[in-house]
Structure formats: C-alpha cells, structure tokens
Amino acid sequence: MVMGCFAGLVIDADKMLLIASSASLAVVTLLALKKFSLSTKAKVGLIYGHLIFAFFPFVVLTTDAACGIACMPCANNLANLIALAFPTTLLFGTMAAFFVIPGFYMFFSRKFETGNAHITRFVGRYSRNIGIKKPKVYIIDNANPVAFSFKSFKSMMFLSAGLIDMLGKKELEAVILHELGHLKRKASVLSMSFSLFRIFSPLSLLARFHHDVDGEELYADGFAAKLQKTERHLKSAKRKIDEFESSKSIGRNQ
Amino acid sequence: MVKLKRMRLDKKGMQTFLSPLETDVLTALYKLEKARTREIHRLLGQRRKVALTSVAVMLDRLHQKGIVRRAIEDGRGGGHYIYSPRTSRHEFEESIVDDAVNKLINSFGPVAANYFYKRFSKKE
C-alpha cells in the first residue's frame, strides 16, 4: 500500500512530554537571555539553544510524519525520532547561522570588493592594531548611507556607495572604526543571531532585546572615538546620515 | 522615457515635472555632464545654500525616475557614484511634452486629437 503505513500523526503521552520539555527549555533559555548579563558568546549560545528547543518538537513531528509516509520503522518510535530529529535541527540551526543571513547579503545584493587603497590600508592597519583578522570590505550599490559588518566563516564589512558619497575622509574612517569595534566584540554574530531569533522564534514577540543592540552600538561608538581620540568625526557622520533621512521628504509632493 | 505622475502647470520648464531642487541638481548635472555628488554640491553651493545630503537624495530620486544613470567608480577616493544624465536636456524636455500630450489623448480621446488637429492646422 502506498499511503497505508501513515495513519496520521499520533501524539501520545511520550511525545507530549517531549514537546512540553522542549518548549520549557526554549522558555528557560529565553528567560536566561533576558535576565542575566552575559558575554556575547553566551548570548549567542542561548539564542541558538532557544531556537533549537523551539523548533525541535516541529522537526520531531515532521520526521514522524515522513517516517510514516515512507513506511519506515522510525514512525511512532520516539528514540528513533529523537535520533533523527536532533541532528536535523542542529544542522538547520547551523545553516541558518552561517549561511542564510551572510548568504543573503553575499548573493542578493549588488556589491564588489573595494579596490580603494586608502580604505583597505586603513582597515588592514587597524585590524592588526586591535588584533582581529582583516575583514574584506565590500561596496554595495545603495544610495542610502549604510554600513554593517559580520563574521561567519570570514569577516566582512559592507559600506554603501551612498555613504562614501556623503562622508568626508575622517568621517568615513570613524564609521569603519565603529564597524571594526563590532567585529572585535563579535557583535555582528550577536545581532545576526537576534535577527534569526526575531524571524524564527514564536516567542520573540514576548521579549525585546533593544538594550543589547543599543549597548553594542554605544560600545562601537566609544571604540571609534577612542581610536580617533575624538568623537567629532563620528558625530558629524551620524548627523549627515540623519540629515539624509530627513532630506528624503523634501519636495516629495512634486 | 519620462512617465509623468503629476504636472504643475503654474511652473515653467522642467519644474512642471520636477521639484525646484531636483531641477537645480539636474541642471547642474547637464552642465557637468558626468559628476560626483560633491561636485554637483560644489557647483550648486556657488549660488545657494544646500546640504550635500539633500543633493544626494535628489540624485537618488532622479535615478529612481530614470532621468539620470549612475555607476560606482572604485577610484582613489573609494566606491562612490558617478552620475550622468540619461539623455540630452532637449530630449528630456521633449519626452515630458510627449508624455503630457499622450496623457491628454488617452484621457480625452478624439476630442483631444481633434483639438490638436484644429489648433495646428490653423497655424499652417
């Protein structure tokens, strides 16, 4: 029989216990994330722990249905299901962390690695000074003033052409130092993880983590100001970015 | 080329279609033919006070409207945009007139076509 093995999803007491335990662990990791002041590494670990526990029951039930349809002995066998579902969840979690978000920026935005000698020399010099691996610097085809960076397998920094258009040399250096500050603290991994958490976790609506992201921004600002020995350039760069946003409404009704 | 959304008949020339600052930026670009945002800003700054960021926004808007083209030049100063007009000023103004006439014909059909025929045959 083609569909004969699949008699619908049976959620027995064992599966209910598994779902409840997994959901409880997802809540516990979320509370720990919110409650304690932790290192970046610990926060990232908790975010992925939370995502894995939140998704685990869905993966178990999907695997159960797939085993049933394929007439495999893993159907309705909890030990087998866990053995199959756990590595699958881990695999998808890792793929999301290391490929989905960086891949989105790498493959779906028009960008190229800059050949600008000043930027590459500046990034190289300061990366050495602060003891991090030199990131590749990409220019993205975007008129909005945008700068961001992240680290998965390699460090990458993205600067928009619009940002370079409107900032002076020192202001651009301040923005680059701000991004290097993020890379040094591995904050990009944290903000990327929070993005994944907001997109995929059903519990993300219950928790807000603005203070973590704001704290990282303040750290990166302080980092740039310390290296430049003034916060003048960073402030002026931020003012121009704000001005760009407010200029967007000029003559809109024409 | 140009698709008119709204036409301001109380204004003259390109301002019937563009905002005053967009018009100034485009006029400066016609003069320079090919320029960076800050070069256009410098030229405009000789006549009026305008922020570099406002010029950048206007150029982006003109690009979105398909009036100017841009390319990233990864030169010594680093991946900035170089803007240039898509057509000559004459061709651009002609396309505004063409679109306006087409819209009148589409909206009023034979009435508009008849009117144009009578109006221009009278002058011959």
Residue B77 lies in a domain: yes
A121 and A225, same domain (yes or no): yes
Domain count, chain B: 1
A125 and A193, same domain (yes or no): yes
> Cα separation of A96 and B67, whole Å?
40
Domain that holds residue A230: 109-253
- pLDDT over 50 (residue A109): yes
Residue B65 lies in a domain: yes
User: Which among B6, B8, B53 has CB closest to A247?
Assistant: B53
Residue A119 lies in a domain: yes
Considering only residues A239 and B120, tell me which one the structure prediction assigns the higher pLDDT: A239
A118 and A57, same domain (yes or no): no
B-chain residue closest to A247, CA distance = B54
Helix (H) / strand (E) element for B27: namely helix B20-32
Shortest alpha-carbon distance between residue B81 and chain A (Å): 6
Residue B7 lies in a domain: no
> Cα separation of A238 and A233, whole Å?
9
- Identify which of A52-61, A86-95, A186-195 has the greatest average pLDDT: A52-61
pLDDT reported for residue B81? 94
pLDDT reported for residue A143? 92
Mean pLDDT of A221-225: 91
Q: Measuring CA to CA, which residue among A149, A146, A145 is closest to residue A135? A: A149
Mean pLDDT of A100-128: 77
Cβ neighbours of B76 in A, within 8 Å: 116-118
Q: Which of A68, A98, A128 is the last residue of a domain?
A: A98
> Cα separation of B26 and A78, whole Å?
69
* Cβ within 8 Å, pair A161-B81: yes
Residue A198 lies in a domain: yes
> Cα separation of A59 and A51, whole Å?
12
- pLDDT over 60 (residue A253): no
A-chain residue closest to B39, CA distance = A165
pLDDT reported for residue A2? 47
Residues of B with CB under 8 A from a CB of A: 6, 8, 18-22, 36-38, 51-54, 56-60, 63, 72, 74-81
Mean of the per-residue pLDDT values of chain A: 80
Q: Which of A98, A133, A152 is the last residue of a domain?
A: A98
* Cβ within 8 Å, pair A250-B21: yes
pTM, full prediction: 0.69
Instruction: Tally C-beta pairs within 8 A across A and B.
Output: 83
User: Which among A116, A244, A250 has CB closest to B79?
Assistant: A116
pLDDT reported for residue A187? 64
DSSP strand pairing (A136-140 vs A155-160) = parallel
Residue B83 lies in a domain: yes
Domain that holds residue B63: 13-121
Q: Using the 8-state DSSP alphabet, how is residue B15 labeled?
A: G
If you search the block for the tokens 């103004």, which residue do you land on? B93
Considering only residues A184 and A125, tell me which one the structure prediction assigns the higher pLDDT: A125
ipTM above 0.90, yes or no: no
Structure tokens belonging to residue A92: 């998808």
Sheet containing A147-151: give its strands across.
Answer: A111-113, A136-140, A155-160, A147-151
* Cβ within 8 Å, pair A139-B81: no
* Cβ within 8 Å, pair B77-A251: no
Structure tokens belonging to residue A118: 């000043």
pLDDT reported for residue A239? 93
Tell me the pLDDT tens digit for each residue of A35-77.
777 766 677 777 778 888 888 888 888 888 888 888 887 777 7
* Cβ within 8 Å, pair A165-B78: no
Cβ neighbours of B25 in A, within 8 Å: none
pLDDT reported for residue A7? 64
A181 and A118, same domain (yes or no): yes
Residue B8 lies in a domain: no
pLDDT reported for residue A1? 42
A242 and A150, same domain (yes or no): yes
A90 and A188, same domain (yes or no): no
> Cα separation of B10 and B88, whole Å?
24
CATH at B109: 1.10.10.10
Shortest alpha-carbon distance between residue B97 and chain A (Å): 17
User: Which among A161, A250, A254 has CB closest to B79?
Assistant: A161
Mean pLDDT of A127-156: 87
DSSP strand pairing (A147-151 vs A155-160) = antiparallel
Mean pLDDT by 10 residues, chain B (124 residues): 71 82 94 94 90 94 93 78 94 88 88 87 64
Residue B2 lies in a domain: no
> Cα separation of A186 and A133, whole Å?
12
Considering only residues B12 and A213, tell me which one the structure prediction assigns the higher pLDDT: B12
A115 and A234, same domain (yes or no): yes
Domain count, chain A: 2
**Are A29 and A54 in contact, with CB atoms under 8 Å apart?**
no
Residue from B14, B49, B72 to probe the interface with A (highest A Cβ count within 10 Å) = B72
- pLDDT over 80 (residue A93): no
